[in-house]
Chains A and B, each alone.
Chain A
Amino acid sequence: MQTLDYAIPGTRPTQPGWVTFVPPLAVLMLALLMHYCVPFLGAYAERIMTDMAIAMIAAMSLTIVNGFTGQFSIGHAAFMALGGYTAAWCSYYFCLRYWGQTAVVPGTLFGTHQLILLCCALIGGAVAAGAGWVVGLPSLRLRGDYLAIVTLGFGEILRVLFQQTNSQALSKPELANRPLFGSDPTNPGWVFPPGVGGSLGFTDIPKSTNLFLCYLLVGLTFLFAYRLKFSSLGRALLSIREDEIAAEAMGVNVTRLKVRAFMFAAFFAGIAGTLYAHQSGTTLRPIDSGFIRSFDIVIMVVLGGLGSISGALLAAVIITGVTAALLGLTDYGLLPYRMPVFALVLILMMIFRPKGLFGVHEIWDYLPQFGRKGAK
């Protein structure tokens, strides 16, 4: 294949070097800021902010596949749950084996547990990405509704599989007596089928998720999604959404890029799932892989505008906020109205802003003084 050497240095104006390093530093600053400032608002605010961060990562990751690439996946919670279960399995049994307990000192910025969490997040993300590859390769030849059904089915299959897992070992001696493998109910293995609690759910996972890690990962996911969207690779993804046949005729390897987009999305979903699993107050349950969870994320992406990263962020904040607000009204019996409220929001949006809050554009395209050339 003939190649053009695009990388020859010349007189062309390139982006300045600071674009490489400054944004990651800004992300770090944001994460530190969140960690030190939000606790002043109280534990409840802290909890909501954590929920928002997890929702933001999940929504941004789904944007990569649903928004950029135009492949409508409605099984995203399955990747979250898979990543969460994997990471939680790693961290829980690691802690149990070496310390005999999984308690975490709250309020730490970055201790041993956070380091473990970060490593587990990478493992969880990688496993989810692997699952994304497995699901993506055969099913991305399908289009539209067919792909949606396959992803939906994947989530449900995973939910049933999580129900069939073994009960978890609750103490160090119990862990020592357990075999590695086997599904005998009286003497279950802890490696395979994994001892992650079956239908009762996975409890006592180390509560190592903190605001610092949450917003660090939100920032990094945003950077990844942003840099992807405004790059050659990202434009190739967008071209698949616009017109697959034309994209392929222009030399875009459609199948490979679709699978890659699916894997990126699954990876970050796995990270979101990890944070969710290690959040204080959660029990990881098989239902977390089900389609109700998936739809929450799809609603965020559609509300924000398919393909808009900042739209997904804003929608994640809005939806988590609204849920929390309705939760506060439990005493008045308003919680059951959560879903009807969302349905109403979506219907109104379809009437007034059929392309979501920002369409494919970003929030700054709507600010006149920072508006990019030509964006409407």
Chain B
Amino acid sequence: MSFLLDVQRIGISFGGLKAVQDFTLQIAHGALHGLIGPNGAGKTTVFNLLTGVYLPQTGSIHLGGVSLMGRKPFQIAAAGLSRTFQNIRLFGELSVLDNVRIACHLRGRHSLTATVLRTSFYRRQEAAIEERAMTLLSIFDLGDLAHEQARNLSYGDQRRLEIVRALATVPKLILLDEPAAGMNPAEKIELAKSIEQIRKQFNLTVLLIEHDMSLVMDICERITVLDYGQIIAEGTPGEIQSNPKVIEAYLGEVVTES
């Protein structure tokens, strides 16, 4: 069986701190994979390694058979891997629509001549980009807010906008970094539905970091657990829930009284 994402033993250390070590992950086409672990376990570092923000010091990363090692973040985005950020990184001063249109930039052709002369090709492309951006926004009910400044959105809307923006780059694999953080229970249920919908509609594969265990256990098909930069368990939600190492990582060692 071939995997969409094939990560073999990547690692990085900052000075003497081994942030991530021997991280191996294989995700099949169309899967929804969860990545969990206590605070500081290295989950976001893994995302940064995958998207080229940090350069892995060891190992290999392949997306659909193409190596991503040593590529720059924009090249990795072009290869079909997109992400959201844990600490929201929207283009705050720009409108919601512009945030999405910027991500559409990647799949278009933009020459300076066409831009300055406003050729018919340019005008058709701009119209198509705007239409696509609006379609994507409407999936997450953000269509009415298209002309708001992004920083004026509510926290939950900002998280949703991050997902829309990542979708606009036409990814094969999308990395969601705590998409439900700061959302109320009703919003979380909505989010779970939307993730399901975009997976089907865009034939997406999803890798998800999340702290909300009920959400993770509910929607993920497989889960990888990270602690102190190393994988301590991998399996289906059921297996993870009963894994003693995972329980230990989250709740602490069982003290046996003698």
Contact = CB atoms under 8 A, between A and B. Distances in A.
Contacts of B115: 227-228, 231-234
A238 B79 contact: no
Interface stretch (B2-10, B90-98, B192-200, B232-240): B90-98
A267 to B, nearest CB: 11
A145 B71 CA distance: 28
B204 to A, nearest CB: 14
B175 to A, nearest CB: 10
A232 B129 contact: yes
Contact of B91 (A234, A238, A253): A238
A245 B128 CA distance: 26
A262 to B, nearest CB: 14
B116 interface: yes
B102 A247 contact: yes
B98 A235 contact: yes
Interface stretch (B34-42, B80-88, B205-213): B80-88
Interface stretch (B12-20, B22-30, B106-114): B106-114
B102 A231 contact: no
Interface stretch (B119-127, B181-189, B215-223): B119-127
Contact of A232 (B77, B110, B119, B149): B110
A138 interface: no
Contact of B77 (A6, A9, A250): A250
A248 to B, nearest CB: 4
Given A231-B126, A235-B98, A374 B82 contact: no
Nearest to B80: A2
Contacts of B94: 235, 238-239, 242
Interface of B: 51, 53, 72-74, 77-80, 82-83, 85, 89-95, 98, 101-110, 112, 115-129, 131-132, 146-149, 165-166, 168-170
A296 B124 CA distance: 40
A374 B93 CA distance: 12
A224 interface: yes
A313 B51 CA distance: 41
Contacts of B89: 243, 245-246, 249
Contact of A233 (B90, B110, B148, B165): B110
Given A227-B116, A228-B115, A374-B147, A15 B123 contact: yes
9 contacts: A20-B117, A20-B120, A232-B125, A232-B126, A243-B90, A247-B102, A248-B72, A248-B77, A374-B149
Contacts of A227: 115-116, 118
Interface string A14-33: 11010110000000000000
Contacts of B101: 232, 235
A360 B77 contact: no
B103 A250 contact: yes
Contacts of A254: 74
Nearest to B92: A242
B79 A1 contact: yes
A41 interface: no
Given A235-B101, A242-B91, A242-B94, 18 more contacts: A3-B108, A10-B124, A10-B128, A14-B126, A224-B116, A231-B115, A231-B126, A232-B104, A232-B125, A232-B126, A235-B102, A238-B93, A238-B94, A243-B89, A243-B92, A249-B73, A250-B74, A253-B72
A22 B94 CA distance: 28
Contacts of B83: 249
Interface in A239-293: 239, 242-243, 245-254, 260
* Among all A-B residue pairs, the 7 with the closest Cβ atoms: A374-B147, A251-B106, A242-B91, A251-B77, A246-B89, A6-B128, A6-B125
B44 to A, nearest CB: 12
A360 B126 contact: no
B108 to A, nearest CB: 5
Contacts of A242: 90-94
Contacts of A6: 104, 107-109, 124-125, 128-129, 132
B105 A252 contact: yes
Contacts of A17: 120
A8 interface: yes
Contact of B131 (A12, A15, A235): A12
A251 B124 contact: no
Nearest to A238: B94
Nearest to B119: A20
Nearest to B120: A17
Nearest to A224: B116
Contact of B82 (A14, A236, A250): A250
Contacts of B132: 4, 6
A251 B109 contact: no
A7 interface: yes
Contact of A251 (B95, B103, B112): B103
Which among A13, A20, A232, A251 has the highest number of chain B CB atoms within 10 Å?
Answer: A251
A1 B66 CA distance: 11
Nearest to B100: A250
A250 B165 contact: yes
B91 A236 contact: no
Contacts of A232: 101-102, 104-105, 108, 110, 115, 125-126, 129
Contacts of A19: 118, 123
A130 to B, nearest CB: 16
A376 B120 contact: no
Nearest to A260: B112
Contact of A7 (B92, B118, B121, B148): B121
B98 A251 contact: no
Which among B102, B124, B131 has the highest number of chain A CB atoms within 10 Å?
Answer: B102
Contacts of B170: 2, 4
B77 to A, nearest CB: 4
A228 to B, nearest CB: 6
Contacts of A238: 91, 93-94, 98, 102
